[in-house]
Amino acid sequence: MAEFENNVAFIGLGAMGYAMAKNIRQKMSPTGNLYIFDVFRTACERFYHEMQVTGPVIIVGSPREAAEFADTVISIVPGADDVRQVYLDAVTGIIAARRNPERVLLECSTIDSKSTQAVGEALLVGKLGTYVDTPVSGGVPGAESGTLSFLIGHGKPSDTNSVSHRLHKVASMMGDPKKFFYCGGLGAGLAAKISNNYLSCSILLAVAEAMAIGTRLGVDEKLLHEVIHHSTGQNFMADNVQPVPGVVTHAPSSNNYRLGFKTQMMIKDLGLGVQAGYATGITPTIAEAALRVYEKAAVDPRCIDRDGSSVYLHITNPTRKSPE
Ligand code: NAD
């Protein structure tokens, strides 16, 4: 195994990161070191106790320390402010680590392209390594099974470009190479991700509303889903993130709206879509309308910290505020 796969740092052990880091620990050399950091210390301790049997796991005190030891850094945290804190904080950030132009940093969070470009350029100027936006798709199930899609802000792998080769190898420990998309330069992976999430978040709300309407008109909910599945309304969200409980057994709704993708995160991702729409001269009519609904759902106790498909509970009874 190459040296860069033996010294890896993972930052952000949340719903996605925990499962992604598990795959890294299982697939890297059993003697290689995995350095972990999360502001929520309990997540690091849980990971340490669960995974140290697989190989060395070292909890570090800051992203700077994590990068200090590692040739490869992977991060996945909620938003752009968190990414800036991880990378650019003058004391605890990766920018304060030892210079190492050979270091490769895969940043998997969903944030805006401009922020990622600013972070990547600052690291390059400081000779901290090559930072690439590598947002992921496939949700927690994809993270757990190691079958995530990667949308990569870099050119395709080639024999003459060692960074792309390394990106491909590291991403392969967490994802399915058939679903790796090399989108171009820094920020291009996020541009693709934001476009995709514009659709997936909007479609989820459309599914919730359509299911609510059809069932109120008297159609059985399972039958309605079957009809949609075999008709022109068929879509991934209805089949896998179906908001009506009991219709699709593997959907979060059938498991008490287990995460998933938090309702509050829907606001972030639709907000990114709206922002990108105006920045490119496209009026984001659908995302704006959906954003207004999710903003209300995100303060509804039935939806907070639950999967975003819980928006169904909000739209079917918008005034009721007690937890389900
Ligand atoms: P999460 O809230 O479950 O996890 C984020 C983790 O980052 C938490 O453990 C938190 O303590 C940690 N964190 C926050 N700030 C930090 C900092 N400054 N330094 C270190 N750790 C910090 O979120 P998630 O669902 O895992 O999502 C993470 C990112 O991945 C988001 O940008 C999200 O949009 C994206 N994403 C999520 C999904 C999904 O289905 N959940 C799918 C694709 C992409």
Q: What pLDDT, in 10s, does the model give residues 281-314? A: 999 999 999 999 999 999 999 999 999 999 999 9
Query: CA-CA distance, 165 to 214, in Å (whole number)?
Result: 50
The answer to whether 22 is a known catalytic residue is no
180 and 198 share one domain: no
Is there an atom of ligand 1 within 6 Å of 66 CB? no
44 and 148 share one domain: yes
Tell me which of 193, 222, 268, 321 is the catalytic residue: 193
pLDDT category of residue 322 using cuts at 50, 70 and 90: very low
Tell me whether residue 320 is in a domain.
no
Over residues 163-191, the mean pLDDT reads 96
Is there an atom of ligand 1 within 6 Å of 308 CB? no
Give per-residue pLDDT as tens, 89-125: 999 999 999 999 999 999 999 999 999 999 999 999 9
136 and 233 share one domain: no
Ligand 1 center to 191 CA (angstroms):
19
| pLDDT over 80 (residue 315) | yes
Q: What is the CATH number of the domain that holds 139?
A: 3.40.50.720
Is there an atom of ligand 1 within 6 Å of 139 CB? yes
Q: Identify the pLDDT of residue 37.
A: 98
Last residue of a domain, one of 167, 186, 205: 186
| pLDDT over 50 (residue 268) | yes
Mean pLDDT across the chain: 95
Tell me whether residue 324 is in a domain.
no
Continuous H helices in the chain = 15-27, 41-51, 63-69, 80-88, 113-125, 139-145, 162-172, 188-216, 221-229, 236-240, 263-279, 285-297, 311-316
Boundaries of domain holding 133 = 8-186
Give the CB-side neighbour count of residue 117, counting CA atoms within 13 A: 11
Q: Identify the pLDDT of residue 142.
A: 93
Q: Could you identify the atom of ligand 1 that is nearest to the CA of residue 140?
A: 40
Structure tokens at 294: 């999710």
Number of domains forming the structure of the chain: 2
171 and 44 share one domain: yes
179 and 220 share one domain: no
Which residue has a Cα nearest atom 31 of ligand 1? 78
* Single pTM value for the model: 0.92
112 and 242 share one domain: no
Last residue of a domain, one of 168, 186, 204: 186
Over residues 252-266, the mean pLDDT reads 92
Q: Identify the pLDDT of residue 1.
A: 60
Give per-residue pLDDT as tens, 29-71: 999 999 999 999 999 999 999 999 999 999 999 999 999 999 9
Ligand 1 center to 80 CA (angstroms):
11
